[in-house]
Structure 1
Amino acid sequence: MKNPITGLLIALFLITLVSGCTLLPERTARNAFMLPAPQVAKSRNPAVPVTLRVLTPQAESPLDGTYILVSPREHIIQAYAGARWSNPTPVMVRDHWIEGLRQNGGLKAVVSESSEASSQLTLSSDLGRFRMHYPQGQAMVEIQLDAQLLESQSRRVLAVKRFQIELAIDDQPVESVIAGFGEASQALTEDMVSWLLSTSEEIYKGADQ
């Protein structure tokens, strides 16, 4: 028969072990931040006569939440203390692209996945990184995204591209961190708009011929 004290000690050990495995400890976020709005120049060419549906990027936990992620060392992920994003990161990134594409006006229409409008093209993507890290001790914002442009009806993949952005930033105060994420997101959105326009033009011309 087991000693009750021994059983209690084992139970306490297991509780401690489980609680020690928390990747992102619960923190009370005092402020919720939005990405600065994109500023994308208007296209000088006539709009490509296609409608693009932009899907929310796929992302794994904890990247699918509202944490502002920091990697102080390799293989360690933490949440920036006292702050969070106002929306889940994939939703916030999607909305940034949609606004940038609409400002540019190079496509006939740009809609989100919730729209009932029909579309010829669909942008699907996988968000791999959206974090701050410290290579060689320098604070950097890093974004990595794998995009797939699909034919909406058949779901056939028409084009793929990996986007990678790294930008040196100041890691204090938090407003500097948010500004850094905004600059990196602006660069990604500009690259995304350019790629989508050129690829859509090629697809449209090929279909027209």
Structure 2
Amino acid sequence: MTVLARSLFLSLVLAGLASCTAIAALDRAAEPQNVYELRPPDDIPVARATRSTQLIIEVPTASGAVGTDRILIRPTPSQIAYLPDARWSEPAPVMLQTALVEALLATNAFRFVGRRPLGPSGDVALVSDLTGFETRIAPETGTNSVQIRLTVRLVRERDARILATQTFASSVPIPDTSTPAIIAGFEQTSADVLEQTIRWIITAL
């Protein structure tokens, strides 16, 4: 076989391998994923009287790693991975916004709770930063946990004055890194953070 023939043969083999790799990637992408949704906690405080406040819940800001519908795993402090067989029903910040709106509506504490005001502006907006929403893996110690951290601000809309600020965080150990254990950890931590946040909002306003 001449040099030219060998080169042509090698090029065809490499092209075939690349094609197989692309097809395999497409096959993996087409595999069905389990979809999960975090719901508001059951133990929601109910106000004795409805206040006249119109409360707007904005979508929490988040980094690109967190602001997705992928379920974040952090094997090391500087490494990011995602569960291959599961995802959230919405991007994590939007899912958290939905849970907050539903939970605050259930408290009957405000005249109106929504994602957008009824008129040009609302009375108070809840502005937040979702700085932690992940599973942390520590193979050297065998301690795995789900962690959520949310910083919230109540902002008066007419003059953008910050009325109150607070950070809520929760960390729950999980027995292993299976998908059911991770989802159960997220359910527990999100319920804890949401309940803390809701009680604080009602008290602060």
Q: CA deviation at 1:42?
A: 4.4
Q: State the identity %.
A: 26
- 1:69-112 per-residue CA deviation (whole Å, 9 max, x = no partner) reads 01112211111121111110100011111111111222222111
Which protein shows a greater Rg? 2
User: What TM-score do you get using the length of structure 1 for normalisation?
Assistant: 0.76
Gaps of 5+ in 2: 1-24
What is the Cα-based RMSD across aligned positions, in Å? Answer: 2.1
* Mapped contact 1:40–1:103 kept (Cα < 8 A): no
Residue 158 (1) aligns with residue 163 (2): yes
Q: Runs ≥4 in structure 1, deviation > 3 angstroms?
A: 25-29, 115-118, 170-173
71, 74, 77: which one pairs with 1:71? 74
Partner of 1:88: 91
Partner of 2:195: 190
Give, in whole Å, the separation in 2 of the partners of 1:156 and 1:36: 31
Partner of 2:172: 167
Partner of 1:14: none
Give, in whole Å, the separation in 2 of the partners of 1:43 and 1:120: 21
- 1:156-201 per-residue CA deviation (whole Å, 9 max, x = no partner) reads 111111111111123443123212211111111110111100110x
- 1:92-145 per-residue CA deviation (whole Å, 9 max, x = no partner) reads 0111111111112222221113x5344211000111110010354222111111
Give, in whole Å, the separation in 1 of the partners of 2:105 and 2:148: 22
Give, in whole Å, the separation in 2 of the partners of 1:164 and 1:143: 6
Partner of 2:42: 39
Note closer, same or farther for the CA distance 1:157–1:37 as it changes in structure 2 (3 Å cut). closer
Note closer, same or farther for the CA distance 1:44–1:199 as it changes in structure 2 (3 Å cut). closer
Q: CA deviation at 1:57?
A: 0.3
Q: CA deviation at 1:44?
A: 4.5
* Mapped contact 1:71–1:133 kept (Cα < 8 A): yes
